[in-house]
Amino acid sequence: MENSTRLLWRQQDSLASRRVLVVEANDPALADLPADRIYLHADDYGVGAHQWAPLPTLPEDVDLVILPLPKAVERLELLLRSIAGSIESALEVWLVGPAKGGIRGGTTRLARYADDVTLVDSARHCKLYRARLRPGPALSLSDVESLVQVGDLQVVSYPGVFSHGRLDQGTALLLDALQENLPREKVLDMGCGSGVISAVLAHAGCQVSASDVSATAVAAATATLQRNALQGRVVGGDLYSGVSGRHQALITNPPFHDGRERTTAITRRLIEQAPGYLTERGEMWMVANRELPYAQWLDGAFRHVQVVRETNRFRVYRALR
């Protein structure tokens, strides 16, 4: 159970008769909060929420919204604007998050859209604030999209998706390396983000499947393919849970954070399970920060591994099954 969830449990007397929507849930245990009714929205597929979607839908009977602080401040602002656009009168909102994880900046953003921002409780290195959210204009993802030009392609980017509004250096290095050895036929883009890799591969004639744990990323990648009149299948899932069949190549710029926590466990699973989704002569292409211990895991899962590009920050690996 997250510390912020434990802090919310301290409010059980206040929650007892409330009908609550938790927005951007980051902990499956939030579903068990001691409220009269709990609805869970999450962008993260792994939470197992009632709503897995880029933006929440506000049930009619909800009288309280709880918002665990997102990692990206622009994501927080998007969620506040989305909720405000769904209400006709002021609605109570609780913002909860780690004391050293940006909660002060979060309350500054909250105050732009809400009145009476008040500290309610502080424990377990977390803080809980209460406010009255004002109604605002309706909002959709298209209202906040950014377009990133990558060669002849336009990539659709939404707040909260990895490398929002720009092409990150690691992905740029990976795409450069792929130009000389571009995979053909069926390819899988794991952790597709805004869909830049998927779009480049589809533009080159590949049969593309893409997956991401983030509902907003799935929406962005789908929009990117549509904007460039390209074909591809984009699904959500916890790593390979939405993936089927075998592919000639798996391409990835994997995360090394799970929410706010730095972790390599996700990529380790991605590497170890990858051969099961590749054809007999399939290959995996991956870019990663130099200091991360991925080479030894690739060596354990694949027949041959080589570094095909390298800078002072990143390495591009090519692993053959």
pLDDT tens per residue across all 321 residues of the chain: 899 999 999 999 999 999 999 999 999 999 999 999 999 999 999 999 999 999 999 999 999 999 999 989 999 999 999 999 999 999 999 999 999 889 999 999 999 999 999 999 999 999 999 999 999 999 999 999 999 999 999 999 999 999 999 999 999 999 999 988 888 889 999 999 999 999 999 999 999 999 999 999 999 999 999 999 999 999 999 999 999 999 999 999 997 645 556 678 899 999 999 999 999 999 999 999 988 889 999 999 999 999 999 999 999 999 999
**What tokens appear for 282 in the block?**
């399939």
Q: Are 20 and 65 in contact (CB under 8 A)?
A: yes
Strands, E, within 152-289: which ranges?
Answer: 153-157, 186-190, 207-212, 233-236, 247-252, 257-258, 261-262, 278-289
**pTM for the whole structure:** 0.94
Ordered structural domains, the chain, with CATH = 3-133 (3.40.50.150), 143-320 (3.40.50.150)
Pairing between β-strand 207-212 and β-strand 314-320 as defined by DSSP bridges: unpaired
| φ, ψ (nearest 5 deg) of residue 104 | -65, -45
Burial class (CB in 10 A: 0-12, 13-18, 19+), 195: buried
